[in-house]
Amino acid sequence: MGSFVHGAELSRFTKNVLDADAASGYALLRRIPSTRTWKVLDYVSTLERAERDAFFNAFVSNGLFLLYPDRDPSLHAYQSGDPAYRRFIDAMPQLFDWKYADVRLLRGILGDLRSKAPSPEFANVPAHVIQRAEAIQPTNAAAIRREVKSVLTKRFGAKAENRGGGNWLYPGDYAGRPFQVRIDYGGRSDQLRYELFFDDVSTGIRARRLSYEGLIGLGDGHWDFVTADNLSESVVLLADLIQELVVIPQKVPSTG
């Protein structure tokens, strides 16, 4: 029963976050270096208010699985046949645009075009896409890891643990709550994928593979547009998002 009560409270909390984000024009979310998040935001911007609210309700329901991993799978918006969510799933593969090309793809295209034997696959890439690729100041996994370690150590006292295969674990603490952040730097297109883990006895929350974007449905915590120019800002933003997630239990009633 406790989980059910807190699930309702968390649904209201998450919906309020989504509504506040929408009211701001998604100012925070547009700072996230993720082409997936940009694409979802563009989709949301095409919706009428009633459709957007139905869509947000589906995302709120799905987000609870990241806080209550034992939740009934049939409650997932796709499994339950939620029409707004089904329309979203069907629409996303159709939303192709060069503005959603990630850093590695853009730099790869540029490298191919500059090679001695460029691939015909990229012969018709628009000029503005090439210009965008040329303007990127690339970074690499080692530089991203150094920045993450520095920021998370200062903010949360986190200790970096190499788990192999591009996976690192950062146990930390904020406001007296211990947590772990797992980051995968080894994706083919994603430069980092972050997931947060913590438990809270009073609310029954067991955060598993939690990300800010995943909780509210506007992305998945996979970042693929980190550059040398935005690296510092992006990692500070990552720490800010982690901090917001860690204090969620303080924003819902305890079991008393």
In this predicted model, what pLDDT tens digit does every residue of 24-34 receive, in sequence order?
999 999 999 99
**Which of 141, 249, 143 has the alpha carbon at shortest distance from 192?**
141
Strands (E), 153-238: 161-164, 167-174, 177-184, 192-200, 205-210, 222-223
Q: What is the DSSP string of 50-105?
A: HHHHHHHHHHHHHHGGGT-TTS-GGGSTTTTT-HHHHHHHHHGGG---GGG--HHH
Is the pLDDT assigned to residue 5 strictly greater than 60? no
Residues whose CB falls within 8 Å of the CB of residue 81, separated by 6 or more in sequence, listed in order: none
188-236 pLDDT per residue, tens: 899 999 999 999 988 889 999 999 999 999 999 999 999 999 999 999 9
Question: Is the predicted pLDDT of residue 4 greater than 90, yes or no?
Answer: no
Q: Which two tokens stand for residue 8?
A: 């309702």
| Tens digit of each residue's pLDDT (9 = 90 or more) over 103-116 | 999 999 999 999 99
Instruction: Round to whole Å and give the CA distance between 101 and 91.
Output: 18
Distance CA 191, CA 143 (A): 11
Alpha-carbon distance of 183 to 161, in angstroms, equals 10
Give the residue extent of every domain in the chain.
2-251
Structure tokens at 53: 């609210």
The two counts, helices (H) then strands (E), for the chain are 9, 6
Q: What is the pTM of this model?
A: 0.93
* Cβ within 8 Å of residue 245, ≥6 positions away: 196, 207, 210, 211, 212, 215
pLDDT tens digits, one per residue of 229-245: 999 999 999 999 999 99
Question: In b/e form, how buried is each residue of 101-134, taking b as 16+ CB within 10 angstroms?
Answer: bbbbbbbebbeeeeeeeeeeeeeebeeebeeebe
| Residue 206 β-bridge partners | 199
